[in-house]
Amino acid sequence: MITATARSRTVKRVLVWVILFAMPVRSSLARHNTRSASSIQLGENAQVRAALAWFATNLSWINEQQVRLTEIPAPPFQESQRAAAFKTLLAAAGLSVQVDVIGNVIGELRGVNEKEIVVLSAHLDTVFPAGTDVKVRHEGSRLLAPGISDNGTGLAALAAIARAIHEAQIKPQRTILFVGNVGEEGEGNLRGMRALVDAYHSHLKGVIVLDGASTDHVTTIALASRRLEVVINGPGGHSWSDFGMPNPINALVRGSVRFINTKVPTSPRTTFNLGQIEGGTSINSIPYEARLKVDVRSESETELGRLESALRECIAAGVRDEMESSRDRSKGKLEWKVELLGSRPGGELEAESPLLAALRAADGMVENESRIERSSTDANIPLSMGIDAISIGAGGNGGGAHSLQEWYDPAGREMGLKRALLTLLGIADVAPEKTK
Ligand SMILES: [Zn+2]
């Protein structure tokens, strides 16, 4: 997950409170009253209290699962080994578990109402390529390893919440799917969440994504992004005897320099990143290929489109400059293209949504304050299709995401676990206890 704090978070937060509490004539108020009543019931329900208490007595088990899962490599498109371990963990929590065709691990807890589904998900994949050392080191209270927080935290929390609900013998009103999904990071292009939403679309009443640490935010606004790849090809040749032929790397550098001088607005916040560059075969060969991967993000679809056009224009100009300055065009010219590797659609959760109300009620119960954030996460997919979704951290503290110095400190993680559990049960609802 990569977060960008919402520009007008204060305004938005105020807006939420205004809508929730200060508009008695709104028809939605009746619903909110019922919900706050049911959230009080949630806090008083003995089974829910048992589930909440389960966390405190099992914190070391939860930390152990996080370390164990983090030490199973899960590079993009290679999540299957970690998925298998996660499947075992969900099965041990009494769920009926299957792995779908794309590789998502789906554990079902059938509700009284089987037709209405709430999803709690955490992504299995990391950004780190195969061969990265993912052994977890301990330094004081900190755990250190690539992927330990993003998304070792989310996965461990998901397993813990499933287990707590199982141990407390809670029967939900709506069916809950506990999902360890593939393809959140990089070129995974959210394929796991896309497949999940495709499969359950009309039944989905809410999607809660657990991503990384902390309890300070709730992502309700999906940041739109595009991932592009520039490819430039030429005839290639010998560095000495063919000197003067058009060189794809030269053209890429010329185009890139133009592109990085593109002005982007701070509001709506718009960003770009030249993230990966490759090409050439040896130091003394004129390369036949050069490639560049670029990530562009914006709060505005218009700016996103403008930036993609700018990239194409700059690369076209870089190729033209290189062709014009080359001395020998007899052996061919440069070809170029810009391909779309992935795109994450934007969307926004309505301020009056029952899911946001459930999160706010959970925040109230655990005495937490959180701000609205705009970010690019698995929640982009349901949000872009009008399905209620949020992404939240799963508690504790973390840092250095997507770097080899990534760390996680589980101190205080209990609040994040309780917050996620209460939000989940707030939206799935709890069936009345059976009298024994
Ligand atoms: Zn993540």
CA of 10 to the centre of ligand 1 (A): 25
Contact (CB, 8 A) for 217 and 3 = yes
CA of 292 to the centre of ligand 1 (A): 24
Q: Determine the pLDDT at residue 351.
A: 94
**Per DSSP, which regions of 211-284 are E strands?**
217-222, 224-233, 237-238, 270-279
CA of 341 to the centre of ligand 1 (A): 19
Q: Determine the pLDDT at residue 42.
A: 84
Q: Determine the pLDDT at residue 38.
A: 58
Give me the mean pLDDT over the 296-316 stretch: 93
pTM over 0.85: no
CA of 402 to the centre of ligand 1 (A): 9
Mind listing the pLDDT tens digit for each residue in 33-42? 444 445 557 8
CA of 404 to the centre of ligand 1 (A): 15
**Phi–psi pair at 171, nearest 5 degrees:** -105, 115
Mind listing the pLDDT tens digit for each residue in 251-300? 999 999 999 999 999 998 999 999 999 999 999 999 999 999 999 999 88
CA of 157 to the centre of ligand 1 (A): 13
CA of 209 to the centre of ligand 1 (A): 10
CA of 376 to the centre of ligand 1 (A): 10
Give me the mean pLDDT over the 230-256 stretch: 96
CA of 80 to the centre of ligand 1 (A): 17
Contact (CB, 8 A) for 212 and 393 = yes
CA of 277 to the centre of ligand 1 (A): 23
The overall average pLDDT reported for the chain is 90
Burial class (CB in 10 A: 0-12, 13-18, 19+), 72: middle
Instruction: Tell me what percent of the residues of the chain surpass a pLDDT of 90.
Output: 82
Q: Is the pLDDT of residue 18 over 90?
A: no
CA of 136 to the centre of ligand 1 (A): 18
CA of 351 to the centre of ligand 1 (A): 24
Mind listing the pLDDT tens digit for each residue in 28-79? 333 444 444 455 578 889 999 999 999 999 999 999 999 999 999 999 999 9
CA of 400 to the centre of ligand 1 (A): 12
Give me the mean pLDDT over the 195-215 stretch: 97
Q: Is the pLDDT of residue 10 over 50?
A: no
Distances (CA, A) of 322 to 238, 287, 326, 342: 17, 13, 6, 29
CA of 211 to the centre of ligand 1 (A): 5
- Reported as a pLDDT band with limits 50, 70 and 90, residue 27 is very low
List, as ranges, residues with CB under 5 A of the ion ligand 1. Answer: 1, 150-151, 211
CA of 123 to the centre of ligand 1 (A): 7
Q: Are strands 96-99 and 105-109 parallel, antiparallel or unpaired?
A: antiparallel
DSSP-derived secondary structure letter, 102: T
CA of 76 to the centre of ligand 1 (A): 12
Tokens of 15: 């807006």
CA of 152 to the centre of ligand 1 (A): 9
CA of 179 to the centre of ligand 1 (A): 14
CA of 3 to the centre of ligand 1 (A): 10
CA of 328 to the centre of ligand 1 (A): 49
CA of 410 to the centre of ligand 1 (A): 17
Give the number of other Cβ atoms within 10 Å of residue 278's Cβ: 12
Instruction: Tell me what percent of the residues of the chain surpass a pLDDT of 70.
Output: 90
Mind listing the pLDDT tens digit for each residue in 123-178? 999 999 999 999 999 999 999 999 999 999 999 999 999 999 999 999 999 999 99
Mind listing the pLDDT tens digit for each residue in 377-430? 999 999 999 999 999 999 999 999 999 999 999 999 999 999 999 999 999 999
CA of 30 to the centre of ligand 1 (A): 36
Q: Determine the pLDDT at residue 11.
A: 41
Q: Are strands 2-5 and 137-139 parallel, antiparallel or unpaired?
A: unpaired
CA of 151 to the centre of ligand 1 (A): 5
Question: Please, what is the end-to-end C-alpha distance for the chain in angstroms?
Answer: 45
Q: Determine the pLDDT at residue 187.
A: 83
Distance CA 321, CA 356 (A): 53
CA of 45 to the centre of ligand 1 (A): 33
Query: 434 or 36: whose pLDDT is higher?
Result: 434
CA of 282 to the centre of ligand 1 (A): 36
Q: Determine the pLDDT at residue 329.
A: 76
CA of 408 to the centre of ligand 1 (A): 13
- Can you list the alpha helix ranges (DSSP code H) found in 233-297? 248-260
Query: 27 or 346: whose pLDDT is higher?
Result: 346
**Per DSSP, which regions of 302-423 are E strands?**
335-344, 347-348, 371-376, 389-392, 397-399, 407-409
CA of 1 to the centre of ligand 1 (A): 4
Query: 10 or 183: whose pLDDT is higher?
Result: 183
CA dihedral 207, 152, 171, 378 (to 10 degrees): 10
CA of 401 to the centre of ligand 1 (A): 8
- Reported as a pLDDT band with limits 50, 70 and 90, residue 346 is confident
Q: Determine the pLDDT at residue 301.
A: 82
Q: Are strands 217-222 and 371-376 parallel, antiparallel or unpaired?
A: parallel
